[in-house]
Amino acid sequence: MHHVILGAGPAGVIAADTLRKQDAEAQITLISGEPEPPYSRMAIPYLLSGQIDEEGTYLRQDQGHYRNQGIDVVHARAGGVDSENKNLALEDGTELSYDRLLIATGASPIRPSVEGLNLPGVHSCWTLADAREILDRALKGDDVVLMGAGFIGSIILEALVSRGVNLTVVEMGDRMVPRMMDETAGAMLQRWCESKGVNVLTGTQIREIDRGKNRVDVELSSGKSIPAKLVVVAAGVAPNISFLEASGIKTGQGVTVNGFLRTSAKDVYAAGDVAQGKDMSTGAFSVLAIQPVAADHGRIAALNMAGYQTPHEGSLNMNVLDTIGLVSSSFGAWEGVKGGDNTRMSDEHAYRYLRLEFDGDRLAGAQAVGLTDHIGIARGLIQTGLRLGRWKDILMKSPERLAEAYVATAQGISTP
Amino acid sequence: MQMALVIDAGKCTGCKQCELACSYVKEGEFNPAKSRIRVFDFHQDARFVPYTCTQCDEAWCQQACPVNAITTNERGVKEVHDSLCVGCKVCTIACPFGTVNYNASTGKVIKCDECGGDPACVKACPTEAIVFMDVEQAGFDKMRQWAAKTDNAASAGQ
C-alpha cells in the first residue's frame, strides 16, 4: 500500500503520522512544496518577534522523526493528478503512482488587484522565505504598512509591533477582524492597538503602491499617502486547487469532499485549508482554514485512507488571537443563529467582552475579549450541543459563568 | 497499570487546598488563578467539583499544537514543553474541556501534568476526593463517559 500525501503542513504531517500508527508496513510519501523541513506557518509570527528561530517552526522537533517513522519526505510541487491511473505528476516532470492520495496542498495568499504589489518592499507573510524578507526589512523605527487586519493580519501585527517598527494597518472592512468578531470586539481591539502606538485605519483601501526613493508610497482611498520601507500584504488566502483543473476531481471553494473527507475521485482524499469540509455550525461544506480543522481533517482522512471508516462530524470555526497582549477568541456561530437568544457582557475600560449566542438552550457561538480562563469550554459546549436547561437563564444574566454552566451540566447539577 | 487522577466530587468539601498546592508546586506561589486544577462551587446544591485535565487519548490540545510543544510521556500524560511553546493559544481553544489555560506572565500555556507521577493536589486533599490510582479501577469509567461526550470524533476509528 502506497500512501502519497501532497502537502506537508499540519494536515499532511498529522495524516502521515496517523497512517504510520495504523499501518506499520505501508509506504508513505510526504510531498512538501517548499525546501525546508515541514513547518508551521502559524509559528512564523513568533519567528518574526524573535521568540524562536526557524527550527522552532518545524512541525516535528525531532530531526530524525520522518526517517524514524519511515516517512519519505520529497520536496516537489504537484503538476496534476490522473485519478484513473492513480498517478501523480510533479512539476519537475517525475511521476509517482499511489494507492491512496491525500490532497493537503493548503492555501496561498490572495494578491488583490492593486497596482504596485510586485514592487520590491511589498511582501506577503506566508512562507519562511517571506519571513526572511520581512526580518531583513522590518527593523526598529522603520515605516511599515500592513494591508489587512483580518485574523492573519492581526497576528502579523503583533509580530511587527514587537520588532519596534512604526506601523500603520489598513483594513478595508469597517473594523478589525471583521470575519472573526463583532463591532464591539473589533472596536475594542482597535482602541487597544491605537493605545499601543499602532496607527489603525479601518474602512480604508489601498488604491495603489508607487515606487519612491528607497521606499514605496502607499496611496489610500482617503487621499492620504503613506511612505513605507515595507508593505506586508495580508488580504486573505485561497485554496491551492489550480493543479487539479484537468484532473476531473470536483472543486468548489476548495476540493469537494464527502462526510469521510473523500473527494469525487476513488481513493483520493483532501484535508486542511484546501478541503471544503463540513462546518458543524451551518451543516454546509465550506473551507475553514484554521489549524485545529487541519489537524482534525488530517487525522480523520488518514484513518479512512488506512481502511477505518471514520466519519468527519463537522468542524467548528474558531480562532484565538493575541493583539499586543489583548487575547480574543471566537467560536462557531458567533454572529448568532436565526431565532436564537444572545447575551453580552462588556467592560470597555478593562478591555473585556463576552458574547454568547444560543440556539434554544444550547450554546451556538461565543466570542471573548480579555478572558482566557477555561475558554475551550465554549468549544466543548457548542460541539456537544449539551442542553443547558436552567443554566441558560443564568448565562443570559451572567455570561461569565460559562465554565460553571458546563461543569454543572456535565455533572448533572441542575439547581443554580 | 496506568495511574490517573480520579476525582470523586461527592467527597469534595470545597476547601481548595488542591488549588493552592498546585499553584505552589507549579508556579511557586499561592495563587488559585495559576492552579491547573480548579474547584467549582455550586453553593445552593452544596456541591463542589474539582476539575482538571483527563489526559485524553487523542488529545485535542496535542493535535492542534502547531509546533509539537505538547507530547505524551510514558505514563500517557500530555506535557507542555515551555522551551517549544510559542504561546499561540490554539490548544486553549481546541481543548473542549477548557483545561489548557494561558499564563500571561510567562506567555506559555499551562495544563495538568500529574506532577510527574506524584500529584500535589492528591497529597493536599484531606478527604480523598482526588486520588491517584490505577485507571482500570472503578471511578475512571465515569470520567471516560464524561470525556466521551465531547470526544466522539477523537474516539472514532479506534
CATH number 3.40.50.970 given to A325-411: no
* A406 compared with B43, residue with greater pLDDT: A406
CB A340 within 8 A of CB A326: no
Per-residue model confidence as pLDDT tens digits over A108-157: 999 999 999 999 999 999 999 999 999 999 999 999 999 999 999 999 99
At residue B45, the pLDDT reads 82
Instruction: Tell me: pLDDT of B96 over 80.
Output: yes
Per-residue model confidence as pLDDT tens digits over A205-221: 999 999 988 899 999 99
Residue A304: name the closest of A128, A151, A101, A153 by CA. A101
Write down the CATH number for the domain with range A2-108+237-305: 3.50.50.60
Report the pLDDT averaged over residues B31-59. Answer: 92
Res. A81 pLDDT band, cuts 50 70 90: very high
CB B141 within 8 A of CB B148: no
Report the pLDDT averaged over residues B57-70. Answer: 92
| A232, A238, A242, A243 alpha-carbon torsion, rounded to 10° | 80
Residue B105 CB-density burial (10 A; 0-12 exposed, 13-18 middle, 19+ buried): exposed
The answer to whether B97 faces chain A, any CB pair under 8 Å, is yes
Instruction: Tell me: pLDDT of B154 over 80.
Output: no
Whether residue A415 and residue B94 make contact (CB cut-off 8 A), yes or no, is: no
Whether residue A386 and residue B149 make contact (CB cut-off 8 A), yes or no, is: yes
On average, the pLDDT of chain A sits at 96
Closest partner residue to B93 (CB to CB) among A61, A318, A406 is: A318
Signed CA dihedral, A259, A261, A265, A267: sign only: negative
The whole-angstrom distance between residue A313's C-alpha and the CA centroid of its chain comes to 19
Domain-by-domain residue ranges, chain B? 3-146
CB B95 within 8 A of CB B109: no
Grid cell in block for residue A184: 464591539
Residue whose C-alpha cell reads 506577503 in the numeric block: A124
Domain-by-domain residue ranges, chain A? 2-108+237-305, 122-233, 325-411
At residue B140, the pLDDT reads 57
CA of A31, closest CA in chain B: separation in Å? 18
Q: HSE of A76 in the Cβ direction (CA atoms, 13 Å)?
A: 21
Closest partner residue to B66 (CB to CB) among A40, A299, A404 is: A40
Residue A364: name the closest of A346, A337, A344, A403 by CA. A337
Round to whole Å and give the CA distance between A41 and A64: 21
CB A322 within 8 A of CB B87: yes
Res. B143 pLDDT band, cuts 50 70 90: low
For the complex shown, is ipTM > 0.90?
Answer: yes
Write down the CATH number for the domain with range A122-233: 3.50.50.60
Round to whole Å and give the CA distance between A281 and B95: 18
Q: What is the DSSP letter of A400?
A: G
Report the pLDDT averaged over residues A289-310. Answer: 96
For an interface test with B, which of A69, A407, A413, A415 has the most B Cβ atoms less than 10 Å from its Cβ? A407
Q: Could you give the angle at the alpha carbon of A272 between the alpha carbons of A271 and A273, nearest 5°?
A: 130
Report the pLDDT averaged over residues B42-55. Answer: 90
At residue A63, the pLDDT reads 85
Q: Number of A:B CB contacts under 8 A?
A: 148
Residue A398 CB-density burial (10 A; 0-12 exposed, 13-18 middle, 19+ buried): middle
Angle between helices A376-384 and A402-411 (to 10 degrees): 50
The answer to whether B57 faces chain A, any CB pair under 8 Å, is no
At residue B3, the pLDDT reads 87
CB B128 within 8 A of CB B22: no
The answer to whether B15 faces chain A, any CB pair under 8 Å, is no
Write down the CATH number for the domain with range B3-146: 3.30.70.20
Residue B118: name the closest of B127, B131, B100, B102 by CA. B131
The answer to whether B47 faces chain A, any CB pair under 8 Å, is yes
Are A2-108+237-305 and A122-233 in the same CATH fold? yes
Per-residue model confidence as pLDDT tens digits over A323-351: 999 999 999 999 999 999 999 999 999 99
Question: Which residues of chain A neighbour B66 with C-beta distances below 8 Å?
Answer: 10, 40, 42-43, 59, 291
Res. B153 pLDDT band, cuts 50 70 90: very low
